[in-house]
Amino acid sequence: MPLVSVIVPTYNRPLSLEKTLISILNQTFSDIEIIVVNDAGEDVSNVIRILDDDRISYIENEKNKGLAGTRNVGILKARGKYVSFLDDDDLFYPTHIEILVNEMEDKPQMAGVYSDVNMCYMRDDGVILQEQVIYSLDWKKNYFYGVNFLNVLSYMLKKEVIIDIGLFDESLRALEDYDMLIRLSKKYYLKHVPVITCKYIRQNKTMGALNATCFVDRRKPFFDKNKLFFESAGDINKYRTEFFNDTYSYKMKTYADRFKDKKIVVFGAGEGGRRLFGFLKEKNIPVSFLIDSQGEKSKNDWTDKYIYTPDQFFESFYDKDCFIFVAVGMIVHIFEVLEYLYNKNCKDFLLMY
C-alpha cells in the first residue's frame, strides 16, 4: 500500500500533463501512487504509456464531471494514508512530498499540512512574466471569512479527514476547493510548512476566457451555499483586511532589499490600491507615484495624490530608482499589467494583491 496518493485531474492538456507527471515521478519520496483522471477529454493514454511507471494508474470519466467530480473519482480510488492534489499544468519540486510526509509522520495528530507556492504567470508562448511567492502565512481560520489563502497543490491531507468532512462538492463549478477548506476549518486545522515546494502556473489563455459576468456567475453557487458561514463573521472586510495586512507584512519583510531606498510606485487605484495605500501610510512608507490605466478618471476620495496613466508615468517619471507595487486584483487585469511591464522591460516590481 502506498503511503501517499497524488490525484491528477486532466482535461485536454497532454503536453503539460507529461511535465506534471514527471515532476511527481522525480520526487525524492517514492512510496506513492499517481491517479490520473481524464475528465472526458482528449485521450492521454499515450502519455501514461510513454512514462511507463507502474505507480501511475489511469481512469477515464465517461462524461465530463468538472474539477470537483474528477478529483473525487481519484480520492475514492486512492489507497494512500495521505492525499495530495496536482492539476495537469502545475509542478511539484523534487522534495515536495518528502517535506510534507515528514511533517505528517512527525505529528500524527495533524489533519494535514501545507507548504508555500511559487505563483508563475506565464504567457501563451511560454514566456514567464512573473514568478514569486504571493503569501506565506500560518493557518488562521478567520482568513477563510475573507479569502481562500491555500492553493490545492500546496496541501497534503489524511484521506480519513477528507472522507470525514465530505468530498469536493460536485455541484460547484468554481471555488470547490475553498468550499472544502471551509468545511475542514470548522473541525480541523492544518500546519504551515514555510518552504517553497511547488509551482502554480497561471496562463492568460485560460484566465482570459472568463469575462467579468462569467467570473461572477460561476462563483455565485459557492457564495449561496456558504451564505451562513460568511454572515456569521459579521463584517468580512475586517478579516480581508487582516489577511491582506499580514500578506503585505510578509512581502515587505521578505523582499525589503529589492525596494530599499527606492521611490515607491503603486500600480492600481481600485480596491487593491486603496488597501495597499492605506497600509503603506500606516507604516510611514511614502508613495511617490500612483498610477492606474484610467489615470485621473479613477480618482477616489481616499487620496489627493495625482493618478497618472502608465504611459504618462513611464514617459515622464520612471527611472532606475523606482520600484512598483502592483495592486490590481482581477486575474485578467494582472496579466494586462504584467504584459505592460514586460514590454517596458521593467523588472523592479512585486505583485501585492
What gap in Å lies between CA 151 and CA 86, rounded to an integer?
A: 10
Judge whether residue 296 has pLDDT over 90.
no
What gap in Å lies between CA 191 and CA 82, rounded to an integer?
A: 14
pLDDT at 336 (0 to 100) = 95
| Confidence band, pLDDT 50/70/90 cuts, at residue 298 | confident
pLDDT at 215 (0 to 100) = 65
- Sorted by sequence, the CB contacts under 8 Å of residue 254 that are 6+ apart come out as 133, 136
What gap in Å lies between CA 178 and CA 193, rounded to an integer?
A: 20
pLDDT at 19 (0 to 100) = 97
Three-state secondary-structure class, residue 43: coil
Please give the backbone phi and psi of residue 125, each rounded to the nearest 5 degrees, phi first: -90, 10
pLDDT at 305 (0 to 100) = 87
What gap in Å lies between CA 176 and CA 68, rounded to an integer?
A: 6
Judge whether 71 and 83 are in contact, CB under 8 Å. no
Judge whether 68 and 39 are in contact, CB under 8 Å. no
Calculate the CA 10 to chain-centre distance.
Answer: 18
All 3 cell numbers of residue 188? Answer: 480541523
All 3 cell numbers of residue 35? Answer: 491517479
Judge whether residue 231 has pLDDT over 60.
yes
- pLDDT cut 70: percent of the chain above it: 97
Domain boundaries, the chain: 4-224, 260-351
All 3 cell numbers of residue 44? Answer: 492521454
Helix residue ranges, H only, 3-152: 14-25, 45-51, 66-77, 96-106
What gap in Å lies between CA 346 and CA 161, rounded to an integer?
A: 46
pLDDT at 300 (0 to 100) = 74
pLDDT at 212 (0 to 100) = 55
Q: Which fold has domain 260-351?
A: Rossmann fold (3.40.50)
Tens-digit pLDDT profile for residues 146-198: 999 999 999 999 999 999 999 999 999 999 999 999 999 999 999 999 999 99
pLDDT at 211 (0 to 100) = 53
pLDDT at 69 (0 to 100) = 98
Calculate the CA 11 to chain-centre distance.
Answer: 19
| Confidence band, pLDDT 50/70/90 cuts, at residue 267 | very high
pLDDT at 213 (0 to 100) = 58
156 CB neighbour count, 10 Å cutoff: 26
- In sequence order, what DSSP letters do the residues of 239-288 get, joined into one string? HHHHHHHHHHHHHHHHTHHHHTTPEEEEE--SHHHHHHHHHHHHTT----
pLDDT at 205 (0 to 100) = 61
What gap in Å lies between CA 91 and CA 307, rounded to an integer?
A: 39
**Range 248-271 burial, b when 16+ CB lie within 10 A, else e:** bebbbeeeeeebeeebbbbbbbbe
- Single pTM value for the model: 0.94
What gap in Å lies between CA 104 and CA 97, rounded to an integer?
A: 10
Tens-digit pLDDT profile for residues 80-131: 999 999 999 999 999 999 999 999 999 999 999 999 999 999 998 999 999 9
CATH superfamily for 4-224 is Spore Coat Polysaccharide Biosynthesis Protein SpsA; Chain A (3.90.550.10)
3-state secondary structure 59-78: EECCCCCHHHHHHHHHHHHC
What gap in Å lies between CA 108 and CA 280, rounded to an integer?
A: 41
Please give the backbone phi and psi of residue 340, each rounded to the nearest 5 degrees, phi first: -65, -50
- Sorted by sequence, the CB contacts under 8 Å of residue 52 that are 6+ apart come out as none
Mean pLDDT across the stretch 226-253?
Answer: 95
